[in-house]
Structure 1
């Protein structure tokens, strides 16, 4: 038991780095930023797996040792408890007056009648009687013990802990979790539906080692809107998103017939064994480019919040010219447009010339952008993955992308490039981040946790105690001597002992003090 407690304490200590340092499982980007900003010490942390604490070898080793220790604690204690329940209570000590609770007196009843009353008083106790030749004082005696459920609940508590460890481990092997960003704006041609039919539908996805990607639970949901409520200081008060969803064959029906649900923080949608959470949110600016031939392209792309309070956001947009404008493929590739900059939902202009953009409030009341406009090869045709939130720096260093303009725009304002291309800032829409989580053992983990909690309460409330009764025949009656002993510290069971003592001696109940 001491080993299990020491390991439990060690698990708590080992989890501290996981709370203080960014973890790859939660945010790979934060980990890379921490390593870049902290140099050698961060590299040492990385080698020690401090950015992957809960997947690290040493943490799992402690976890496994704790599991083994609990099993090694439960098995012998269970056997000892079984033997204790089958063993008669220990005989009364020779000198009962040394016990914490002691009393004696006489009754005008024969000893056989008193014996019957002793059996009646200890009806629900584990009772053993001893003849004078078996008793240490040479008298007729009884030994009663109660509170065996205390140890039983103690064992169930530890079994519940083992159950939690096992269910968490199994859930880790088979769980999956993914995030998807949705801009709730059908009018701009955005896809506002998500279907849980393939891992490729997620923006990010991670799963346990035994999940092969084919066990997704099929269903779809459509986002109708997203709204955020803020306090005057800009702190978020509540996020709300109205969605509709369908499962099974209903997915192929008219979306207007799907079931409605209002997603809020800590109020996930539970469907097909999955939980759909409303997590973060941000803004997706909209830009329209009008090429010299009159053709237009409009994009709405989410930008990454840099300020979690006032949502100053950074991001990029990439535009490919119309197919017929530049027949030569190489020339067309050199005329691609890239936009990189900052977006503020409530613009605040700082600096000497009031041209430095920041945000003063998270709600979109006066949106504006500060952007750099590039022309050239923006990397759309390289075949390599592109960051959603920043341009490839190597394209700018190599000269493949040339910066043309740096400009600040409010809604409706535009800039015209040297070739007549017109770029207009049309405003922005809010996007929301939805997390889909599945853990097959979540219910089991909850059940074992409740069992452990209930057993802990039971083990603390139930008292293990013993009472001995020794009978001495005397002229005209029987002298009764009783004693009590608690097997737990500060059990506070004196009233129970006194009640039985008065019952055997036919004493009146004490009057309540006023």
Structure 2
């Protein structure tokens, strides 16, 4: 049993196993990039599963839509971490001992070396060895009786260790980041809408790390000013831009606002958080004039149903004023639902959109009256009405019409619904990752360590000087590259010629 455990440990901590696990980790992470993930877009996952049928159900059961939270991904991650630690510690100790050790003694027969040169010189052995030491200045050297041993290229192993330790640090930083990071999305109205990072309830969606409870978020505020978008002729967006103001840190106490131009892939970085501009949509504003003459104006964002034309769907809901009886109030609530066309296209009375920019927008509205179900204590989507209320007859459609800006529709009880205006909204993402600097540093070290390990080569040179009977000195030079290296023959030839006085060093 002990032998089995020892052999298993040796196999796990071998560099071959570490590289295999690294490949498996990259392979296991691919579904997270290719498939929609539950943590990012549950609706897309549901759509994908419904479209693929049994195959989608199988992928869902196997965790391919929440890759980074699956046991099999964690198992690969932990095995790779263990393998790297078990592999690197012995290698580091061996490297430390090699650095303190003297170069290898000169072999008995230098002519058997892969690189060899010799010459008879009219100098003494001491003079020949002194010349060799000057030529090999900068190499790790050790002198013996009539010999000089030198070696170079220890930085290769240094780079190798830096690469693997940086990889280990990257894994640790990534794991810690998943524990202490948070990420949230929020829709904010343009032209004056504000968002403050004061708590998780300010977000539409919020994904905390394992150690984040949402009570200690980085405080800052953002105010959205003018929003602008550029499109190609086919409606494809070229770029989004929002002029914003923000305050963080000491600015909150002094109520000082700083300007910033927020663009896609150019986030606002403040107090360790990043604010990204993800996209945008439209908010139609309606005014409902009730039979008693009182008015209510409401603007709620509608959700793009077509990303190319930004034709948007939604529901704007109103409570009747001046009614204290809850039962009567619930029977007279108003919901304006339908389709918003930024650039309208009418075909046989059917409204659609032909371009995403605002150009005389129109809405095709269905007006519902009755109990919206917003008072029963259950959460309800702001983008739609509760269809159960419609099925139960508690909410009924009372009017339908296409409206241009400023037009209105009258209901049977005298209530009027007017289409007032359209405003932009922007979708923001706030990301907090306290380990991002460490991830960047380790990533740079990985590149540097890999570069050093690939460019620097271990090589050795030995010189022996032997006194001949005729008074001359036989000088032999042998060379060995610890690893294959194109060009070492040229380096050895240059060193040998310098040592043998065939050219200047």
Alignment of 1:100-499 (within 5 A): 100-131=114-145, 140-186=146-192, 192-248=193-249, 250-251=251-252, 253=254, 257-324=256-323, 328-350=325-347, 353=348, 355-474=349-468, 475-499=470-494
TM-score after normalising by structure 2: 0.92
Q: CA deviation at 1:344?
A: 1.7
Q: CA deviation at 1:84?
A: 2.0
Secondary structure of the 1:423 match is strand
Q: In structure 1, what is the equivalent of residue 95 of structure 2?
A: 81
Specify which of 44, 49, 57 is matched with residue 43 of structure 1: 57
Q: CA deviation at 1:37?
A: 3.5
Cα 1:509–1:361, aligned 2, differ >3 Å: closer, same or farther? farther
Residues 93-148 of structure 1 show CA distances to partners (whole Å, capped at 9, x for unaligned) of: 444334332222122111111122222222321223343xxxxxxxx333211101
Residues 359-396 of structure 1 show CA distances to partners (whole Å, capped at 9, x for unaligned) of: 22111123122222111101121211111212212111
Q: In structure 2, what is the equivalent of residue 500 of structure 1?
A: 495
Q: In structure 2, what is the equivalent of residue 134 of structure 1?
A: none
Q: CA deviation at 1:56?
A: 1.0
Kindly report the root-mean-square deviation, in angstroms, between the aligned alpha carbons of the 2 structures: 1.9
**Aligned mates of 2:326, 2:175 — CA distance in 1:** 54
The answer to whether the Cα contact below 8 Å between 1:195 and 1:218 also exists between their aligned partners in 2 is yes
Q: CA deviation at 1:316?
A: 1.0
**Aligned mates of 2:499, 2:51 — CA distance in 1:** 79
Q: In structure 2, what is the equivalent of residue 189 of structure 1?
A: none
Q: CA deviation at 1:185?
A: 3.3
**Aligned mates of 2:322, 2:472 — CA distance in 1:** 117
The answer to whether the Cα contact below 8 Å between 1:463 and 1:491 also exists between their aligned partners in 2 is no
The answer to whether the Cα contact below 8 Å between 1:266 and 1:277 also exists between their aligned partners in 2 is yes
Alignment of 1:24-43 (within 5 A): 24-43=38-57
**Aligned mates of 2:284, 2:155 — CA distance in 1:** 65
The answer to whether the Cα contact below 8 Å between 1:18 and 1:54 also exists between their aligned partners in 2 is yes
The answer to whether the Cα contact below 8 Å between 2:189 and 2:426 also exists between their aligned partners in 1 is yes
Secondary structure of the 2:393 match is coil
Q: CA deviation at 1:158?
A: 0.5
Establish whether residue 54 from structure 1 lines up as the match of residue 86 from structure 2.
no
The answer to whether the Cα contact below 8 Å between 1:89 and 1:127 also exists between their aligned partners in 2 is yes
**Aligned mates of 1:349, 1:98 — CA distance in 2:** 90
**Aligned mates of 1:413, 1:363 — CA distance in 2:** 20
**Aligned mates of 1:11, 1:5 — CA distance in 2:** 10
The answer to whether the Cα contact below 8 Å between 2:333 and 2:369 also exists between their aligned partners in 1 is yes
Q: CA deviation at 1:509?
A: 6.5
The answer to whether the Cα contact below 8 Å between 2:457 and 2:485 also exists between their aligned partners in 1 is no
Residues 460-485 of structure 1 show CA distances to partners (whole Å, capped at 9, x for unaligned) of: 12111111222222224312121222
Residues 254-281 of structure 1 show CA distances to partners (whole Å, capped at 9, x for unaligned) of: 5xx5111111122211111111111121
Q: Which of structure 1's runs of 4+ aligned residues deviate more than 4 A? A: none
More displaced stretch, 150-159 vs 30-39: 30-39
Secondary structure of the 2:355 match is coil
The answer to whether the Cα contact below 8 Å between 1:246 and 1:259 also exists between their aligned partners in 2 is yes
The answer to whether the Cα contact below 8 Å between 2:129 and 2:463 also exists between their aligned partners in 1 is no
Say how many residue pairs are matched. 490
The answer to whether the Cα contact below 8 Å between 1:412 and 1:426 also exists between their aligned partners in 2 is yes
Secondary structure of the 1:200 match is helix
**Aligned mates of 1:492, 1:409 — CA distance in 2:** 79
For structure 1, the 5+ residue unaligned runs are 132-139, 187-191
**Aligned mates of 1:252, 1:433 — CA distance in 2:** 27
Residues 392-443 of structure 1 show CA distances to partners (whole Å, capped at 9, x for unaligned) of: 1211111111112232222222211111111111231110011111111111
Q: In structure 1, what is the equivalent of residue 19 of structure 2?
A: 5
**Aligned mates of 1:242, 1:195 — CA distance in 2:** 17
**Aligned mates of 1:114, 1:378 — CA distance in 2:** 101
**Aligned mates of 1:333, 1:37 — CA distance in 2:** 38
For structure 2, the 5+ residue unaligned runs are 1-14
Q: CA deviation at 1:53?
A: 0.4
Secondary structure of the 2:301 match is coil
Secondary structure of the 2:425 match is strand
Secondary structure of the 2:226 match is coil
Q: CA deviation at 1:168?
A: 1.0
Secondary structure of the 1:226 match is strand
More displaced stretch, 500-509 vs 385-394: 500-509
